[in-house]
Amino acid sequence: MRIIKNPSVEEVSKLIENRKSDVAGTEELVKSIVENIRKNGDSALIEYVNKYEKCKLTIDDLKVSQEQINQAQVSEEFERLVDEFISRLESYHRLQLEADKWMLTDNGSLLGYMSVPLESVGIYVPSGKGVYFSTLLMCAVPAKIAGVKRIVIATPPNEYGSVSEMILYIAKRLGISEIYKMGGAHAVASLAYGTQTIKRVDKIVGPGNKYVALAKKLIIEDCGIDSIAGPSEVLIIADESANPRFLAWDLLSQAEHDEDAMSVLITTSEQIALAVQENIGRYLQKLAEPNRTRAKTSLEKNGYVLLVDDLSKAAKFSNLIAPEHLEIVTQEPYVLLKQIKNAGSVFLGNFSSEPIGDYGIGPNHVLPTFSTARFSSGLSVSDFVKKVFVTQVTSQELMRSGEQYVKLARLEGFEAHAMAVQIRLEELGVWKGK
C-alpha cells in the first residue's frame, strides 16, 4: 500500500476517478452483451455462457432441477451455521417492516399508502472467486420477509457445470426453486429482459464484479436494481489507539475479494501507517493462492494509506470517497461518527471487524460502491416493497378546497385538470368561480 502524506482534496478525488475510469473501460463490451441478450434471448445467452463461464452448457442445462435442489447435502455444522445466520438476519430485518399507513383529513377524506411486495426478484450470487452463500442469505431473507413470491437465483457454475451444494441447500431451506447457472453481464440482462427460457423479473439485487455492476447500470430503465454494487471497498479511519494488526487483516479481507477491490487507511499516526504497511507485507504471505495474488494486485491498484493532520480531515476525505464499508477505530468513534455523511455501513471500535458484518451480525452486506453511498443505502426490506398511494376524497373535502385545485391547475396552464375538478363542484352546486 502506498503512503500519501497530507493529500489534497484534488489528489483524493483523482484516486476515485482513476478507479472509476478503469471500470468504465469495459462499458462498451457490457453494453453489447446486454443489447444482444435483449434482442436475441436464448441464442445470445448460451453463446455468452459458453464463452465466459468455466464450462460448456446447453440451454437445457441452465436451470437447476428441483431434484438437484432437494438432494443438496451439506454438513450438520453448515446447517447449524445457516440457521444461526438466518435467525440473526431475520431479527434485524423484521425491524424494517412497514405497516400500511392511513390518515383522515378534517373533512373525512382518506389518505395513505399500502406496502405491496414486489412480485419477482432476481438475486445475483457471485461465485467466480469463491462461494458467496452469505450473499444469497443477505438478499433472500429480506425478500422473504417482505413477501416476495418469486425469487430467482443466478450464479455462475463451476468447471463441472454444477452449483455449490451450499447454495442449493440454502435455496431449499428458504423455499427457492428457480436457479440458473449463469453469471456476469449476460445473467443480469437475462433476468432483466427475459429469454425464451427465463422469465423476466421486476428487480435485480446482489453484488458482483465490474461487469455485473455496469450491466445493472444499463438496465435500470427497464428493471429495478438495488444499487451499483461492484467490487468491494473498505476505508478505515484510525488514530494511535488502533491495533495495527487488526487494521492490516481488515484491509486484506477486502483486497482478497477482487483485483478491483479498494482498501484505504486514513490515519493521523505515522507509526500506525508504517506498522500497517509492514504487517500487510507479512500477512500477505500467510494467504494461500489465488487469494494472495488477488489481494496483492488489489492493494497495488487501489490500496492507499492517507496520512492526515487531524481526524476532521479524515472524515472529510471519507465523505468524499463515500466507501461501501467504513471502520472508525479511534479513541472516541461516536464523536467522529457525527461527521460521517456518506458510507454504506459503519463499524466502530477495535473489535468491530468488517468481516463480522459480512457474515450476518445483522445489517445487510449488500452495499453501494463506487461512491454511490452519497445517495443510496444498503439492501433492506424496503428494497423488496413498493408503496402504493391511496386517496378517497369526500364531497365535504371537495366543497371546502376544490376551488383551490381549480386555480392551481389554471395557473399551470392545464384547463382539463381544472375542469375535472370544477365539473364536480358544479354537480355539488357550490361552484362560484369563473
Least confident interval from 125-134, 270-279, 394-403: 125-134
**pLDDT for position 122:** 98
Q: What is the pLDDT of residue 430?
A: 93
Mean pLDDT of the region 285-290: 95
* Residue 133 confidence (pLDDT): 94
- H/E/C letters for each residue in 107-169? CCCEEEEEEEECCEEEEECCCCCCCCHHHHHHHHHHHHHHCCCEEEEEECCCCCCCCCHHHHH
Mean pLDDT confidence for 288-301: 95
Question: Residues marked as binding for Zn(2+)?
Answer: 254, 257, 358, 417
Which residue numbers belong to the known binding site for substrate?
A: 232, 254, 257, 325, 358, 412, 417
* pLDDT at residue 23 in the model: 65
Cα Rg for the chain, rounded, in angstroms? Answer: 26
Pairwise CA distance, residues 153 & 182, whole Å:
9
Could you read off the pLDDT of 166-188 as tens digits, one per residue?
999 999 999 999 999 999 999 99
Mean pLDDT of the chain: 94
Please check the confidence at residue 25 and state whether its pLDDT lies above 90: no
Which domains occur in the chain, in start order?
2-23+231-365 (3.40.50.1980), 41-105+118-226 (3.40.50.1980), 393-428 (no CATH)
- What are 228-248's pLDDT values in tens digits? 877 889 999 999 999 999 999
For residue 223, pLDDT over 70 is answered with yes
Handedness of CA 276, 278, 283, 285 (dihedral sign): positive
Determine the pLDDT at residue 190.
98
For residue range 65-113, what is the model confidence (pLDDT) as tens digits?
Answer: 999 999 999 999 999 999 999 999 999 999 999 999 999 999 999 999 9
**Active site amino acids:** 324-325
Starting at the edge strand that comes first in sequence, how are the strands of the sheet with 224-225 ordered? 178-181, 150-155, 120-124, 203-205, 224-225
pTM, two decimal places: 0.90
User: What pLDDT sits at residue 24?
Assistant: 64
Residue indicated by cell numbers 398511494? 389
The reported pLDDT for the residue numbered 231 is: 83
Where is the binding site, in residues? Answer: 232, 254, 257, 325, 358, 412, 417
pLDDT at 418 over 80: yes
Mean pLDDT, range 289-318, rounded to an integer: 96
DSSP conformational letter for 105: -
| For the chain, percent of residues with pLDDT exceeding 90 | 89
